[in-house]
Amino acid sequence: MTKQIIIPFGPQHPVLPEPIHLDLVLEDEMVVEAIPSIGYIHRGFEKLVEKREFTEYVYVAERTCGICSFIHGLTYCQGIEEIMQVEVPERALFLRTIWSEYSRLHSHLLWLGLFADSFGFENLFMNAWRIRERILDVMEQTTGGRVIQGSCKIGGVRRDISGEKLGQMSKDLDSIGQELEELTNVFLRDASIKHRLKNVGVLSRDDAYSLGAVGPTARGSGVSLDMRKTGYAAYGKLNLETVAENDGDCYARCVVRCRELFTSIDLIQQAVRKIPDGPTDVKVTGTPDGEYFTRSEQPRGELVHYLKGNGTKFLVRSRIRTPTLTNIPPLVKMLQGCELADVPVIVLSIDPCISCTER
């Protein structure tokens, strides 16, 4: 029998943007088992809900993640609005959808850059981030923040976007789309990238389903799960096609994210065409009394917020289930049987967001 050795991977590793630790059990160069451990950046956000008023907790909820911050804020607000039976104006729902899709664009571009960096393609990494900068500029012009938008509030949104600006944004997305096409063509067609990603970290459809994969990780394995289909915010009024691939390898997950960039652009342009005029928020009075599970689709997958109030201005419980947490068991499965040199690429392929996971 080959001697087994354990190699620690992380929490500090050049390829990891955030700390996660994996003990890799190796036989020669092959990984036979990966034992993950998290808990390096726990910040106690869920406990903080007892110390901050429910209206101020939006800012805390948003800071759960530095990438998909807007969607955390949106999901929290959605939960409170459901508990308090608040009817959010249509225009606010459309604006939430537009900002959510911009978040998805910037998150996927960030990931494509980091992914390119993980397999050593630094030029591609910089090009992905150059395009991402244009998305972040729009975020800053419309909300005041590049990554922490702070534009969602209970009962609507804080800021409106003028019709002129919306038209400009939609027009700019056409030129961003052309740049993205050039960028994604490199990911999807280049021979060296295909050679590096094809048949690496394969996750079968059954495994993806039974291990609870979500988001692009599940969709890359043919499980067509997308919470946007539930029609929250204004997604119910837009025409959305779920992107799914069947191969289940790193390349498939990359293809899903590349194609989702164009889905997001399409959704924003649809929303700009259909956005109604009207108020952007309603006055919310009273305090939340009750509990609610609210779900949304983050760039990384399904996000669940559980909120419970007891009629005071402080909630009694908040529970955040982030997509990366549920993508870790599929990751462990993908790592079994892979080569040691493929581990960084496979870990990056689930788009791990550890700050989110540990809250």
Partner 1 sequence: MAFFEMVKTALRTVLSRPATIRYPAEPAKKTLLTRGHVTIDESRCISCGTCQRKCPAQAILLNKEEKTWQMDRLRCVVCNSCVDTCPVKCLFMDTQYTAPTVTRGVEIVTITYVKPVKAADKGEIQG
Token pair for residue 135? Answer: 């998305």
Residue (52 or 295) nearer to partner 1, CB? 52
Q: Is 308 near partner 1 (CB under 8 A)?
A: no
Query: How deeply is 317 buried, as exposed, middle or buried, from its count of CB atoms within 10 A (0-12, 13-18, 19+)?
Result: middle
Q: Is 165 near partner 1 (CB under 8 A)?
A: no
Q: What is the distance between the alpha carbons of residues 12 and 26, in angstroms, rounded to a whole number?
A: 20
Q: Is 158 near partner 1 (CB under 8 A)?
A: yes
Token pair for residue 260? Answer: 């989702």
Among 28, 122, 190, 241, binds partner 1 (CB under 8 A): 190
Residue (165 or 205) nearer to partner 1, CB? 165
Segment lying near partner 1 (by CB under 8 A), choices 180-188, 232-240, 284-292, 329-337:
180-188
Q: Is 191 near partner 1 (CB under 8 A)?
A: yes
- From the list 284, 75, 280, the residue with the least C-alpha distance to 161 is 280
Q: What is the distance between the alpha carbons of residues 327 and 349, in angstroms, rounded to a whole number?
A: 10
Q: Is 141 near partner 1 (CB under 8 A)?
A: yes
Q: What number of chain residues touch partner 1 (CB under 8 A)?
A: 33
Segment lying near partner 1 (by CB under 8 A), choices 55-63, 105-113, 314-322, 341-349:
55-63
Among 140, 181, 241, 339, binds partner 1 (CB under 8 A): 140
Residue (189 or 283) nearer to partner 1, CB? 189
Token pair for residue 142? Answer: 């419309």
Residue (1 or 191) nearer to partner 1, CB? 191
The site string for partner 1 over 70-109 (x = CB under 8 A, - otherwise) reads ----------------------------------------
**What HEC string does 207-252 produce?**
HHHHCCCCHHHHHHCCCCCCHHHHCCCCHHHCCCCCCCCCCCCHHH
In the complex, least distance from residue 328 CB atom to partner 1, rounded to whole angstroms = 29
Contact 268, 98 (CB under 8 A): yes
CA angle 351, 353, 359 (to 5 degrees): 160
Residue with tokens 């990554």: 147
Residue with tokens 């160069």: 29
Segment lying near partner 1 (by CB under 8 A), choices 57-65, 210-218, 219-227, 292-300:
57-65
Q: Is 57 near partner 1 (CB under 8 A)?
A: yes
Q: What is the distance between the alpha carbons of residues 253 and 248, in angstroms, rounded to a whole number?
A: 7
Residue (103 or 324) nearer to partner 1, CB? 103
Contact 77, 154 (CB under 8 A): yes
Helix, strand, or coil (residue 18): coil
Among 98, 186, 265, 272, binds partner 1 (CB under 8 A): 186
Residue (124 or 233) nearer to partner 1, CB? 124
- From the list 321, 332, 330, the residue with the least C-alpha distance to 357 is 321
Among 175, 178, 185, 204, binds partner 1 (CB under 8 A): 185
Residue (78 or 142) nearer to partner 1, CB? 142
Q: What is the distance between the alpha carbons of residues 22 and 342, in angstroms, rounded to a whole number?
A: 14
Q: What is the distance between the alpha carbons of residues 301 and 350, in angstroms, rounded to a whole number?
A: 10
321: which strand partners?
304
Segment lying near partner 1 (by CB under 8 A), choices 119-127, 162-170, 331-339, 343-351:
119-127
Q: Is 287 near partner 1 (CB under 8 A)?
A: no
Among 64, 69, 103, 143, binds partner 1 (CB under 8 A): 143
Binding site for partner 1 (CB under 8 A): 52-53, 55-57, 59-60, 63, 121, 123-124, 127, 130, 133, 137, 140-145, 148, 150, 158-159, 182-183, 185-186, 189-191, 194
